Amino acid sequence: MHNNSYNVKVGCISSKNFIKSLEEVKSFFGFKLVDIKGNSETSINNSCNAVIIETKVENKNLSKKIKIPKIFIQEKPQKGVSKNPFEAILKLPINIIEFNQTVVDLCKKYEFEKNSLVKIRDYILDKNERVLKKGSKVLKITEKETHFIDMLNFYQKSLSKDYILKNIWAYSSNTDTHTVETHIYRLRQKIQDSFGDTNFIKNTPNGYSL
């Protein structure tokens, strides 16, 4: 049995009988089950980590607007397979242990993906894939470059060359700061060549900033 040790709230859009059957075995779940039938898509997206949808009572228009992971429960197999990596389709009857694992794994996967994507103005920094994206353009960058951009964005202020040297590129204090300048120059050049942006990383009197 679980005690909701994994801090996840999962909404349920289903018939009364189905949610009642889930309530009876909720002690086996690693998530908190919430009846959200009748809620708006905004409320669902903002208050839940995932949603269980029984297809026989599904509002397809609402489903399209739900951006969090979806677990569809079907009485009969339907044609077509979802290509969305954050959707799962299960057929009744369901194995409670497998059902719980599917929900929790899907939520973990979604959270990992969400936390790996950082929006920086018109760009997306994908920390997992180590790429910087803008529209359809994608620039592959190194692990250190990814960490450097992420830290500049996190602190929202200029970081000194000494700080960058020791905490991002992990060089000893005896290393010349020109080493950092060379790394950053190359990164800025790559960004300029890929996106035509000469001002993504700014050189300030106190160091570097976004």
Question: Over the stretch 30-83, which tens digit does the pLDDT of each residue have?
Answer: 999 988 978 888 999 999 999 999 999 999 999 999 999 999 999 876 665 567
The one-letter amino acid at 89: I
Among 69-78, 105-114, 138-147, top mean pLDDT goes to: 138-147
> Is pLDDT of 127 > 70?
yes
Asked if 60 contacts 41 with a C-beta cutoff of 8 angstroms, the reply is no
Give the pLDDT of residue 5: 47
Give the pLDDT of residue 128: 87
Which is higher by pLDDT, 166 or 97? 97
Other beta carbons within 10 Å of 120: 15
Mean pLDDT for 112-116 is: 83
Whole-model pTM: value is 0.62
| Numbered ranges of CATH 1.10.10.10 in the chain | 121-209
Proportion of the chain in helix, strand, coil states, percent, rounded to 5: 40, 20, 35
Question: What CATH number labels 121-209?
Answer: 1.10.10.10
Give the pLDDT of residue 39: 85
Mean pLDDT for 151-164 is: 89
Other beta carbons within 10 Å of 207: 19
> Is pLDDT of 178 > 50?
yes
Give the pLDDT of residue 79: 60
Assess whether the previous peptide bond of 93 is cis (omega < 30° from 0): yes
> Is pLDDT of 3 > 60?
no
pLDDT more than 90, % of the chain = 61
CATH 3.30.1490.190 fits 9-113, yes or no: no
Cα–Cα distances in Å, from 187 out to 67, 133, 138? Answer: 34, 14, 14
Mean pLDDT for 125-149 is: 93
| Numbered ranges of CATH 3.40.50.2300 in the chain | 9-113
